[in-house]
A and B are shown apart, each in its own frame.
Chain A
Amino acid sequence: MDRRLIIEHIPRLRRYARALVGDRYIADDLVQDTLERAWNKFYLWRPGSDLRAWLFTIMHNVFVNQVRRRRYEVEQAMEEVPTVAVRATQGEQLELEDVDRVLRSLSSEQREVVLLVAVEQLTYEEVGRALDIPIGTVMSRLSRARERMRQLLGGQVVVPLKVVK
Protein backbone atom coordinates (compact mmCIF):
# COMPACT_ATOMS: atom_id res chain seq x y z
CA MET A 1 0.00 0.00 0.00
CA ASP A 2 1.40 3.33 -1.00
CA ARG A 3 0.87 6.11 1.51
CA ARG A 4 1.75 8.71 -1.08
CA LEU A 5 -1.47 7.93 -2.91
CA ILE A 6 -3.52 9.34 -0.07
CA ILE A 7 -1.04 11.95 1.10
CA GLU A 8 -1.07 13.80 -2.16
CA HIS A 9 -4.78 14.46 -1.72
CA ILE A 10 -4.44 16.03 1.71
CA PRO A 11 -4.17 19.64 0.52
CA ARG A 12 -7.46 19.34 -1.37
CA LEU A 13 -9.16 17.62 1.50
CA ARG A 14 -8.02 20.45 3.73
CA ARG A 15 -9.36 23.02 1.31
CA TYR A 16 -12.76 21.40 1.13
CA ALA A 17 -12.93 20.89 4.89
CA ARG A 18 -11.94 24.50 5.54
CA ALA A 19 -14.63 25.78 3.25
CA LEU A 20 -17.16 23.39 4.72
CA VAL A 21 -16.69 24.09 8.43
CA GLY A 22 -15.04 27.51 8.36
CA ASP A 23 -12.74 27.16 11.35
CA ARG A 24 -9.22 26.11 10.46
CA TYR A 25 -8.60 23.81 13.40
CA ILE A 26 -11.97 22.15 13.34
CA ALA A 27 -11.45 21.62 9.62
CA ASP A 28 -8.14 19.89 10.23
CA ASP A 29 -9.82 17.67 12.80
CA LEU A 30 -12.26 16.68 10.10
CA VAL A 31 -9.38 15.90 7.74
CA GLN A 32 -7.61 13.90 10.42
CA ASP A 33 -10.68 11.82 11.09
CA THR A 34 -11.23 11.34 7.36
CA LEU A 35 -7.67 10.13 6.87
CA GLU A 36 -7.94 7.68 9.74
CA ARG A 37 -11.10 6.26 8.32
CA ALA A 38 -9.64 6.16 4.82
CA TRP A 39 -6.67 4.15 6.04
CA ASN A 40 -8.86 1.71 7.87
CA LYS A 41 -11.04 1.18 4.85
CA PHE A 42 -8.39 1.39 2.22
CA TYR A 43 -8.95 -2.21 1.26
CA LEU A 44 -12.41 -1.13 0.06
CA TRP A 45 -10.98 1.27 -2.47
CA ARG A 46 -10.79 -0.22 -5.96
CA PRO A 47 -7.43 0.58 -7.51
CA GLY A 48 -7.95 2.51 -10.71
CA SER A 49 -11.13 4.19 -9.48
CA ASP A 50 -11.10 7.84 -8.54
CA LEU A 51 -9.36 8.07 -5.18
CA ARG A 52 -10.19 11.72 -4.72
CA ALA A 53 -13.92 11.13 -5.11
CA TRP A 54 -13.66 8.22 -2.69
CA LEU A 55 -11.94 10.45 -0.12
CA PHE A 56 -14.61 13.11 -0.51
CA THR A 57 -17.22 10.43 0.12
CA ILE A 58 -15.49 9.44 3.33
CA MET A 59 -15.19 13.04 4.42
CA HIS A 60 -18.85 13.55 3.72
CA ASN A 61 -19.76 10.57 5.89
CA VAL A 62 -17.55 11.70 8.72
CA PHE A 63 -18.93 15.22 8.45
CA VAL A 64 -22.55 14.07 8.47
CA ASN A 65 -21.98 11.88 11.51
CA GLN A 66 -20.27 14.67 13.32
CA VAL A 67 -22.91 17.22 12.43
CA ARG A 68 -25.46 14.79 13.72
CA ARG A 69 -23.53 14.72 16.94
CA ARG A 70 -23.16 18.48 16.62
CA ARG A 71 -19.48 18.53 16.77
CA TYR A 72 -18.35 20.57 13.82
CA GLU A 73 -19.91 23.88 13.05
CA VAL A 74 -19.95 24.33 16.78
CA GLU A 75 -18.58 27.76 17.20
CA GLN A 76 -17.17 29.54 14.31
CA ALA A 77 -18.50 32.24 16.54
CA MET A 78 -15.11 32.11 18.23
CA GLU A 79 -13.39 34.50 15.93
CA GLU A 80 -15.22 36.78 13.56
CA VAL A 81 -18.51 36.92 11.74
CA PRO A 82 -19.82 40.37 12.41
CA THR A 83 -23.57 40.14 12.46
CA VAL A 84 -24.13 43.51 10.91
CA ALA A 85 -23.91 43.43 7.17
CA VAL A 86 -20.94 45.55 6.28
CA ARG A 87 -21.09 45.76 2.55
CA ALA A 88 -19.24 47.33 -0.27
CA THR A 89 -16.93 50.32 -0.31
CA GLN A 90 -13.97 48.71 1.47
CA GLY A 91 -12.87 46.72 -1.51
CA GLU A 92 -12.59 43.13 -2.42
CA GLN A 93 -11.51 41.62 0.90
CA LEU A 94 -14.69 42.64 2.60
CA GLU A 95 -16.75 41.30 -0.23
CA LEU A 96 -15.06 37.93 0.01
CA GLU A 97 -15.98 37.97 3.67
CA ASP A 98 -19.56 38.65 2.70
CA VAL A 99 -19.52 35.65 0.41
CA ASP A 100 -18.08 33.53 3.17
CA ARG A 101 -20.73 34.66 5.62
CA VAL A 102 -23.45 33.90 3.16
CA LEU A 103 -21.90 30.49 2.54
CA ARG A 104 -22.11 29.79 6.28
CA SER A 105 -25.78 30.66 6.24
CA LEU A 106 -26.58 27.83 3.85
CA SER A 107 -27.65 24.46 5.18
CA SER A 108 -24.72 22.09 5.34
CA GLU A 109 -26.33 20.00 2.59
CA GLN A 110 -26.45 22.94 0.24
CA ARG A 111 -22.99 24.09 1.22
CA GLU A 112 -21.48 20.71 0.39
CA VAL A 113 -22.94 20.74 -3.10
CA VAL A 114 -21.93 24.32 -3.84
CA LEU A 115 -18.37 23.75 -2.68
CA LEU A 116 -17.86 20.48 -4.49
CA VAL A 117 -19.09 22.10 -7.69
CA ALA A 118 -17.56 25.55 -7.38
CA VAL A 119 -14.33 25.01 -5.49
CA GLU A 120 -13.47 21.36 -6.07
CA GLN A 121 -14.92 21.45 -9.56
CA LEU A 122 -16.38 17.99 -9.47
CA THR A 123 -18.90 17.12 -12.17
CA TYR A 124 -22.53 16.87 -11.05
CA GLU A 125 -22.32 13.09 -11.38
CA GLU A 126 -19.24 12.99 -9.16
CA VAL A 127 -20.98 15.17 -6.59
CA GLY A 128 -23.95 12.81 -6.61
CA ARG A 129 -21.67 9.84 -6.03
CA ALA A 130 -19.65 11.57 -3.32
CA LEU A 131 -22.75 12.58 -1.40
CA ASP A 132 -24.74 9.50 -2.32
CA ILE A 133 -27.68 11.44 -3.72
CA PRO A 134 -29.40 11.34 -7.13
CA ILE A 135 -28.31 13.88 -9.68
CA GLY A 136 -31.72 15.57 -9.53
CA THR A 137 -31.07 16.30 -5.87
CA VAL A 138 -27.63 17.65 -6.69
CA MET A 139 -29.16 20.06 -9.16
CA SER A 140 -31.99 21.19 -6.91
CA ARG A 141 -29.63 21.82 -3.98
CA LEU A 142 -27.23 23.66 -6.23
CA SER A 143 -29.98 25.76 -7.66
CA ARG A 144 -31.45 26.68 -4.28
CA ALA A 145 -28.05 27.39 -2.77
CA ARG A 146 -26.96 29.67 -5.57
CA GLU A 147 -30.19 31.54 -5.63
CA ARG A 148 -30.10 32.05 -1.88
CA MET A 149 -26.55 33.34 -2.07
CA ARG A 150 -27.50 35.67 -4.85
CA GLN A 151 -30.43 37.05 -2.87
CA LEU A 152 -28.37 37.51 0.26
CA LEU A 153 -25.62 39.23 -1.62
CA GLY A 154 -28.19 41.64 -2.90
CA GLY A 155 -28.01 40.49 -6.48
CA GLN A 156 -25.52 43.30 -6.98
CA VAL A 157 -22.32 43.30 -8.86
CA VAL A 158 -19.89 42.56 -6.07
CA VAL A 159 -16.65 42.42 -7.95
CA PRO A 160 -15.94 45.13 -10.45
CA LEU A 161 -15.75 43.34 -13.75
CA LYS A 162 -12.56 43.72 -15.65
CA VAL A 163 -12.85 45.54 -18.90
CA VAL A 164 -12.01 43.19 -21.69
CA LYS A 165 -10.73 44.94 -24.74
Chain B
Amino acid sequence: MKPVGEAELHGYVDGRLAEGARAEIEAWLAAHPEDAERSRAYAEQNAMLRSLYHPVIDEPVPAALLAVRPHAWRGYAAAAAILALGMGLGWTIRGALIAPQFIPLSLARQAATAHIVYSPEVRHPVEVTANEEEHLVRWLSKRLGTTLKAPHLAPLGYELVGGRLLSGPQGPVAHFMYQDTRGQRLTLYVSKQRGEPRDTAFRFSQEDRVSVFYWVDGNFGYALSGEVKREQLLQVAEVVYKQLNP
Protein backbone atom coordinates (compact mmCIF):
# COMPACT_ATOMS: atom_id res chain seq x y z
CA MET B 1 0.00 0.00 0.00
CA LYS B 2 1.31 3.42 -0.97
CA PRO B 3 1.63 5.68 2.08
CA VAL B 4 -0.88 8.48 2.17
CA GLY B 5 0.64 11.94 2.14
CA GLU B 6 -0.48 14.87 4.24
CA ALA B 7 -2.02 16.71 1.28
CA GLU B 8 -4.03 13.64 0.29
CA LEU B 9 -5.36 13.24 3.79
CA HIS B 10 -6.67 16.81 3.75
CA GLY B 11 -7.99 16.36 0.24
CA TYR B 12 -9.88 13.35 1.49
CA VAL B 13 -11.33 15.26 4.45
CA ASP B 14 -12.43 18.12 2.20
CA GLY B 15 -13.90 15.90 -0.48
CA ARG B 16 -11.40 17.07 -3.08
CA LEU B 17 -10.24 13.69 -4.31
CA ALA B 18 -11.28 11.66 -7.30
CA GLU B 19 -13.26 8.50 -6.64
CA GLY B 20 -10.33 6.14 -7.18
CA ALA B 21 -8.08 8.08 -4.86
CA ARG B 22 -10.75 8.06 -2.17
CA ALA B 23 -10.93 4.28 -2.18
CA GLU B 24 -7.16 4.03 -1.83
CA ILE B 25 -7.15 6.37 1.14
CA GLU B 26 -9.99 4.57 2.80
CA ALA B 27 -8.04 1.35 2.56
CA TRP B 28 -5.04 3.08 4.10
CA LEU B 29 -7.11 4.56 6.91
CA ALA B 30 -8.63 1.19 7.70
CA ALA B 31 -5.13 -0.06 8.42
CA HIS B 32 -3.79 3.07 10.13
CA PRO B 33 -5.92 4.10 13.09
CA GLU B 34 -3.87 7.21 13.89
CA ASP B 35 -4.43 8.70 10.48
CA ALA B 36 -8.05 7.60 10.61
CA GLU B 37 -8.43 9.41 13.91
CA ARG B 38 -6.87 12.56 12.47
CA SER B 39 -9.08 12.57 9.40
CA ARG B 40 -12.13 12.03 11.56
CA ALA B 41 -11.14 14.90 13.87
CA TYR B 42 -10.52 17.23 10.93
CA ALA B 43 -13.84 16.39 9.33
CA GLU B 44 -15.48 17.12 12.64
CA GLN B 45 -13.74 20.50 12.81
CA ASN B 46 -15.18 21.30 9.40
CA ALA B 47 -18.65 20.34 10.50
CA MET B 48 -18.48 22.36 13.68
CA LEU B 49 -17.06 25.46 12.03
CA ARG B 50 -19.83 25.29 9.46
CA SER B 51 -22.54 24.96 12.05
CA LEU B 52 -21.03 27.85 13.99
CA TYR B 53 -20.89 30.27 11.10
CA HIS B 54 -23.40 29.09 8.57
CA PRO B 55 -26.28 30.92 10.33
CA VAL B 56 -24.66 34.28 9.50
CA ILE B 57 -25.82 33.79 5.91
CA ASP B 58 -29.46 34.04 6.96
CA GLU B 59 -29.10 37.22 8.99
CA PRO B 60 -30.53 40.34 7.40
CA VAL B 61 -27.74 42.41 5.88
CA PRO B 62 -27.32 45.72 7.76
CA ALA B 63 -28.60 48.64 5.73
CA ALA B 64 -25.27 50.42 6.03
CA LEU B 65 -23.61 47.64 4.04
CA LEU B 66 -26.22 47.74 1.30
CA ALA B 67 -25.72 51.47 1.11
CA VAL B 68 -22.03 51.22 0.19
CA ARG B 69 -21.77 52.63 -3.32
CA PRO B 70 -19.17 53.48 -5.89
CA HIS B 71 -17.49 56.84 -5.49
CA ALA B 72 -18.95 58.57 -8.48
CA TRP B 73 -22.49 58.14 -7.23
CA ARG B 74 -21.62 59.17 -3.76
CA GLY B 75 -19.67 62.11 -5.05
CA TYR B 76 -22.74 63.45 -6.79
CA ALA B 77 -24.94 62.81 -3.81
CA ALA B 78 -22.47 64.48 -1.47
CA ALA B 79 -22.07 67.43 -3.80
CA ALA B 80 -25.81 67.87 -3.99
CA ALA B 81 -26.15 67.64 -0.23
CA ILE B 82 -23.39 70.14 0.30
CA LEU B 83 -24.87 72.58 -2.13
CA ALA B 84 -28.18 72.31 -0.36
CA LEU B 85 -26.65 72.63 3.07
CA GLY B 86 -23.87 74.98 2.34
CA MET B 87 -25.74 77.66 0.50
CA GLY B 88 -27.43 79.14 3.50
CA LEU B 89 -24.82 78.19 6.03
CA GLY B 90 -21.62 79.23 4.39
CA TRP B 91 -19.71 76.16 5.40
CA THR B 92 -19.33 72.61 4.23
CA ILE B 93 -18.85 69.33 5.89
CA ARG B 94 -15.17 68.72 5.68
CA GLY B 95 -13.99 65.84 3.63
CA ALA B 96 -17.30 65.08 2.02
CA LEU B 97 -15.93 65.61 -1.45
CA ILE B 98 -12.64 63.85 -1.01
CA ALA B 99 -12.46 60.09 -1.19
CA PRO B 100 -14.50 58.62 1.63
CA GLN B 101 -12.39 57.00 4.25
CA PHE B 102 -12.90 54.23 6.64
CA ILE B 103 -15.10 55.13 9.56
CA PRO B 104 -15.92 52.17 11.67
CA LEU B 105 -19.60 51.40 11.64
CA SER B 106 -18.97 50.08 15.12
CA LEU B 107 -18.56 53.68 16.29
CA ALA B 108 -22.23 54.26 15.45
CA ARG B 109 -23.28 51.05 17.10
CA GLN B 110 -21.35 51.60 20.29
CA ALA B 111 -22.84 55.07 20.49
CA ALA B 112 -26.35 53.75 19.87
CA THR B 113 -25.89 51.13 22.56
CA ALA B 114 -24.70 53.71 25.06
CA HIS B 115 -27.66 55.87 24.13
CA ILE B 116 -30.11 53.03 24.67
CA VAL B 117 -28.59 52.11 27.99
CA TYR B 118 -28.32 55.56 29.55
CA SER B 119 -30.99 57.75 28.04
CA PRO B 120 -33.99 56.05 29.73
CA GLU B 121 -32.37 56.51 33.15
CA VAL B 122 -34.55 58.67 35.34
CA ARG B 123 -32.50 58.97 38.51
CA HIS B 124 -28.95 58.49 37.28
CA PRO B 125 -28.75 59.45 33.63
CA VAL B 126 -25.31 60.99 34.13
CA GLU B 127 -22.42 60.73 36.50
CA VAL B 128 -21.74 64.45 36.75
CA THR B 129 -24.59 66.89 36.20
CA ALA B 130 -24.58 70.08 34.20
CA ASN B 131 -24.35 72.17 37.42
CA GLU B 132 -20.75 71.09 37.47
CA GLU B 133 -20.16 71.49 33.77
CA GLU B 134 -16.70 72.91 34.16
CA HIS B 135 -15.59 70.04 36.35
CA LEU B 136 -17.24 67.52 34.01
CA VAL B 137 -15.46 68.85 30.93
CA ARG B 138 -12.12 69.10 32.70
CA TRP B 139 -12.40 65.57 34.01
CA LEU B 140 -13.39 63.99 30.69
CA SER B 141 -10.76 66.04 28.84
CA LYS B 142 -8.12 64.71 31.16
CA ARG B 143 -9.23 61.12 30.69
CA LEU B 144 -9.35 61.37 26.90
CA GLY B 145 -6.13 63.33 26.73
CA THR B 146 -7.53 66.25 24.78
CA THR B 147 -9.41 69.48 25.30
CA LEU B 148 -13.06 68.62 25.06
CA LYS B 149 -15.98 70.95 24.87
CA ALA B 150 -19.60 70.26 25.67
CA PRO B 151 -21.46 71.80 22.74
CA HIS B 152 -24.02 74.44 23.62
CA LEU B 153 -27.31 73.32 22.11
CA ALA B 154 -29.78 75.55 23.97
CA PRO B 155 -30.65 77.49 20.80
CA LEU B 156 -31.96 74.20 19.41
CA GLY B 157 -33.92 73.52 22.57
CA TYR B 158 -31.53 71.00 24.11
CA GLU B 159 -29.99 71.64 27.51
CA LEU B 160 -26.98 69.78 28.82
CA VAL B 161 -27.99 67.19 31.43
CA GLY B 162 -24.43 66.19 32.21
CA GLY B 163 -22.04 63.46 31.22
CA ARG B 164 -20.16 60.37 32.15
CA LEU B 165 -17.05 58.42 31.39
CA LEU B 166 -17.55 55.15 29.53
CA SER B 167 -15.25 52.39 28.50
CA GLY B 168 -15.17 51.71 24.75
CA PRO B 169 -13.20 49.24 22.65
CA GLN B 170 -10.65 51.95 21.89
CA GLY B 171 -10.33 53.19 25.47
CA PRO B 172 -12.10 55.89 27.45
CA VAL B 173 -15.21 57.52 26.00
CA ALA B 174 -16.79 60.84 26.94
CA HIS B 175 -20.57 60.72 26.90
CA PHE B 176 -22.62 63.92 27.06
CA MET B 177 -26.37 63.94 27.44
CA TYR B 178 -28.83 66.63 26.37
CA GLN B 179 -32.55 66.95 26.87
CA ASP B 180 -35.33 69.14 25.54
CA THR B 181 -38.36 70.34 27.47
CA ARG B 182 -40.36 67.27 26.52
CA GLY B 183 -37.69 65.01 27.91
CA GLN B 184 -36.37 63.95 24.49
CA ARG B 185 -32.72 63.06 24.96
CA LEU B 186 -29.72 63.21 22.66
CA THR B 187 -26.30 61.88 23.50
CA LEU B 188 -22.87 62.74 22.13
CA TYR B 189 -20.30 59.97 22.20
CA VAL B 190 -16.66 61.00 21.84
CA SER B 191 -14.01 58.32 21.55
CA LYS B 192 -10.37 58.32 20.69
CA GLN B 193 -9.64 56.55 17.38
CA ARG B 194 -6.67 54.38 16.65
CA GLY B 195 -4.43 54.92 13.68
CA GLU B 196 -3.55 58.01 11.72
CA PRO B 197 -5.50 61.18 12.39
CA ARG B 198 -7.99 61.85 9.62
CA ASP B 199 -11.16 63.71 8.85
CA THR B 200 -14.23 62.16 7.35
CA ALA B 201 -17.63 63.13 6.14
CA PHE B 202 -20.75 62.72 8.22
CA ARG B 203 -22.27 59.32 8.07
CA PHE B 204 -25.70 58.27 9.11
CA SER B 205 -26.75 54.99 10.61
CA GLN B 206 -30.11 53.83 11.84
CA GLU B 207 -29.72 51.45 14.76
CA ASP B 208 -33.22 50.25 15.50
CA ARG B 209 -35.06 53.31 16.78
CA VAL B 210 -31.91 55.29 17.35
CA SER B 211 -30.60 57.58 14.62
CA VAL B 212 -26.88 58.24 14.68
CA PHE B 213 -24.72 60.73 12.84
CA TYR B 214 -21.06 59.97 13.20
CA TRP B 215 -17.77 61.27 11.89
CA VAL B 216 -14.07 61.24 12.61
CA ASP B 217 -12.13 64.41 13.17
CA GLY B 218 -8.41 64.07 13.76
CA ASN B 219 -7.88 61.43 16.42
CA PHE B 220 -11.44 61.42 17.68
CA GLY B 221 -14.63 59.79 16.62
CA TYR B 222 -17.91 61.55 17.33
CA ALA B 223 -21.40 60.12 17.27
CA LEU B 224 -24.60 61.96 17.99
CA SER B 225 -27.54 59.70 18.82
CA GLY B 226 -31.20 60.23 19.45
CA GLU B 227 -34.60 58.73 18.84
CA VAL B 228 -35.46 61.50 16.46
CA LYS B 229 -35.80 61.87 12.72
CA ARG B 230 -32.74 61.97 10.58
CA GLU B 231 -33.30 65.58 9.45
CA GLN B 232 -33.74 66.82 13.00
CA LEU B 233 -30.63 65.05 14.13
CA LEU B 234 -28.63 66.34 11.19
CA GLN B 235 -29.51 69.86 12.20
CA VAL B 236 -28.08 69.25 15.66
CA ALA B 237 -25.06 67.38 14.30
CA GLU B 238 -24.18 70.35 12.13
CA VAL B 239 -24.26 72.66 15.12
CA VAL B 240 -22.18 70.25 17.18
CA TYR B 241 -19.62 69.96 14.43
CA LYS B 242 -19.47 73.69 13.94
CA GLN B 243 -18.97 74.37 17.63
CA LEU B 244 -16.24 71.79 17.91
CA ASN B 245 -14.48 73.23 14.85
CA PRO B 246 -14.90 77.00 15.15
Interface of A is mostly: helix
Contact, CB under 8 Å: A1 / B70: yes
B57 / chain A contacts, CB cutoff of 8 Å: 11-12, 14-15
B106 / chain A contacts, CB cutoff of 8 Å: 25-26, 28-29
A149 to B105, CA, bound (A): 32
Any A CB within 8 A of the CB of B50? yes
> Which chain B residues numbered 62 to 96 have a C-beta less than 8 Å away from chain A?
62, 64-66, 68-71
> Given known contacts A25-B106, A29-B102, A99-B49, what 15 new A-B pairs fall within 8 Å (CB)?
A7-B66, A28-B62, A32-B102, A36-B68, A40-B70, A40-B99, A71-B195, A95-B48, A99-B45, A103-B49, A114-B45, A117-B46, A118-B14, A158-B44, A159-B47
> Which chain B residues numbered 1 to 16 have a C-beta less than 8 Å away from chain A?
6-7, 10-11, 14, 16
Any A CB within 8 A of the CB of B51? yes
Contact, CB under 8 Å: A69 / B194: yes
Closest Cβ of chain B to A80, distance in Å, is 13
A149 to B37, CA, bound (A): 14
Query: Considering only CB atoms, which chain B residue lies closest to A10 in the complex?
Result: B61
- Which B residues are closer than 8 A to A by beta carbons? 6-7, 10-11, 14, 16, 37-38, 41-42, 44-54, 56-59, 61-62, 64-66, 68-71, 99-100, 102, 104-106, 109-110, 169-170, 194-195
Query: Considering only CB atoms, which chain B residue lies closest to A36 in the complex?
Result: B68
A124 to B11, CA, bound (A): 9
Closest Cβ of chain A to B11, distance in Å, is 8
Contact, CB under 8 Å: B46 / A99: no
Given contacts A95-B48, A99-B49, are A143 and B10 in contact (CB under 8 A)? Answer: yes
The tally of CB-CB contacts under 8 A between chains A and B is 128
Contact, CB under 8 Å: A33 / B102: yes
In this complex, which of B57, B68, B69 has the most chain A Cβ atoms within 10 angstroms of its Cβ?
Answer: B68
Closest Cβ of chain B to A41, distance in Å, is 10
- Which A residues are closer than 8 A to B by beta carbons? 1, 3, 7, 10-12, 14-15, 18-19, 25-26, 28-29, 31-33, 35-36, 39-40, 42, 69-71, 74-75, 78, 95-96, 99-100, 103, 114-115, 117-119, 121, 123-124, 139, 142-143, 146-147, 149-150, 153, 155, 157-159
Contact, CB under 8 Å: A96 / B48: yes
A149 to B42, CA, bound (A): 9
Contact, CB under 8 Å: B45 / A100: no
A42 to B71, CA, bound (A): 11
Partner of B10, one of A29, A99, A142, A150: A142
Contact, CB under 8 Å: A14 / B56: yes
Can you list 26 A-B contacts with CB-CB less than 8 angstroms, sorted by A residue number? A7-B66, A10-B65, A14-B61, A18-B53, A19-B56, A26-B169, A28-B106, A32-B64, A32-B105, A35-B68, A36-B102, A39-B69, A69-B195, A74-B194, A99-B49, A117-B46, A118-B45, A119-B53, A119-B54, A124-B11, A147-B38, A149-B45, A150-B41, A153-B41, A157-B44, A159-B48
Contact, CB under 8 Å: B16 / A124: yes
Closest Cβ of chain B to A2, distance in Å, is 11
Query: Considering only CB atoms, which chain A residue lies closest to B58 in the complex?
Result: A11
A33 / chain B contacts, CB cutoff of 8 Å: 102
A159 to B57, CA, bound (A): 23
Closest Cβ of chain B to A25, distance in Å, is 4
Partner of B61, one of A1, A11, A69, A96: A11
Contact, CB under 8 Å: B68 / A150: no
A7 to B62, CA, bound (A): 12
Contact, CB under 8 Å: B105 / A19: no
Given contacts A32-B65, A69-B195, A74-B169, are A118 and B52 in contact (CB under 8 A)? Answer: no
Contact, CB under 8 Å: B71 / A32: no
A35 to B104, CA, bound (A): 13
